[in-house]
Amino acid sequence: MSLVKPKRNLHAKTISFIALMVFFGPLGDVFLRMGMKRIGAIESWTLPSTLHYFRLIITSGAIWLGIGSLLMFFVCYLMVLSWADYSFVQPASAVSYLVVALLGICVLGEAVSSGRWLGVAVICLGVLLVGHTPARTTEEPS
Amino acid sequence: MTLPEALSFLVIVFAGTGGELAVSRAMKQIGEVHDFSPRNVASVIGRAFRIGWMWFGISLMTAAFFALLAMLSWENVSFVIPVTALSYVAGAFGGQYLLGERIPTKRWLGVLLVCVGVALVCIS
């Protein structure tokens, strides 16, 4: 029989792991973008061209840093999914879009329009609403 | 949006969400993790990978990952990542109907706002 933890602790634990996901996820995406930007778009989808493109991808340092960050993200993701609802974790982690926009500007030098900022703000508002619901609505399996 | 971009987008949304739902199902079978020492985390992950749902989920997520790589080579990261947020609608429905989660009205409103945000990002 598992111990039933106080609801507040469960919520705090969930938010802490989502914060880690929000850090590692966007960082991984930015590293991947850096790597793919250096490699460029695939020229044709023939087998030799695709294999050559795949070799370029797996020999890129930035791609491996991206994969490392995304692995950390995935471990945190697995842990939080062991107790929290998927329908809570998925939208709550949408805060990462704000982090992606910020990293896009600061690290990759990309331009983000005011309309896109508005979209990101509405996404964050949605995340706040989700954050005010219980992290788990199902019973833990015995 | 070109045809390859549209196809990649569909794979990212549906294979990605389906994979996450399968992984979530596997982790629920493991049960809540209380000990986060590296040894125990490794043990939990090892047990998770002995569940079929985990492999099914990983396969779908792998397909979504390569679609994301292709998409990232065509578009800016600050455009690609928010656009893939449409998977939140699929995720909420999947959570309710496939995983038996009870989604409160407030959470549905939150998901709706995320979708509106995505639409704003797309038309900007």
Contacts of residue A88 in chain B, CB cutoff 8 Å?
107
The pLDDT of residue A142 is: 54
pLDDT at A2 over 50: no
Distance CA A74, CA A64 (A): 15
Distance CA B20, CA A78 (A): 10
Does B96 contact A87 at a Cβ distance shorter than 8 Å? yes
Mean pLDDT of the B72-101 span:
81
The average confidence (pLDDT) of chain A is 86
Does B95 contact A83 at a Cβ distance shorter than 8 Å? no
pLDDT at B75 over 80: no
Per-residue model confidence as pLDDT tens digits over B35-63 = 999 999 999 999 999 999 999 999 999 99
Neighbours of A22 (CB within 10 A): 22
Does B117 contact A122 at a Cβ distance shorter than 8 Å? yes
Q: How confident is the model at residue A53 (pLDDT cuts 50, 70, 90)?
A: confident
Tell me how many residue pairs between chain A and chain B have CB atoms under 8 A apart: 198
Contact status, residue A78 vs residue B45, Cβ threshold 8 Å = yes
User: For B13, which DSSP code?
Assistant: I
Contact status, residue A95 vs residue B52, Cβ threshold 8 Å = no
Mean pLDDT of the B82-106 span:
86
Q: Percent of chain A having pLDDT more than 90?
A: 37
Per-residue model confidence as pLDDT tens digits over A119-138 = 889 989 998 999 899 999 98
Does B99 contact A119 at a Cβ distance shorter than 8 Å? no
Contacts of residue B87 in chain A, CB cutoff 8 Å?
90
pLDDT at B5 over 60: yes
Higher pLDDT, A64 or B70: A64
Contacts of residue A110 in chain B, CB cutoff 8 Å?
76-78
Does A140 contact B31 at a Cβ distance shorter than 8 Å? yes
Q: What is the maximal distance between C-alpha atoms in chain B?
A: 47
- Helix residue ranges per DSSP H, B16-123: 16-30, 38-48, 52-74, 77-83, 87-97, 105-123
Contacts of residue A105 in chain B, CB cutoff 8 Å?
78
What pTM, to 2 d.p., does this model score? 0.77
B78 CA: distance to closest CA in chain A (Å): 5
B52 CA: distance to closest CA in chain A (Å): 15
Cα nearest neighbour of B61 on chain A: A74
The pLDDT of residue A1 is: 40
* Nearest C-alpha neighbor of B27 from the set A77, A4, A135: A77
Q: What three-state secondary structure class fits A73?
A: helix
Q: How confident is the model at residue A4 (pLDDT cuts 50, 70, 90)?
A: very low
Q: How confident is the model at residue B13 (pLDDT cuts 50, 70, 90)?
A: confident
Does A42 contact B73 at a Cβ distance shorter than 8 Å? yes
The average confidence (pLDDT) of chain B is 87
Neighbours of A48 (CB within 10 A): 8
B33 CA: distance to closest CA in chain A (Å): 6
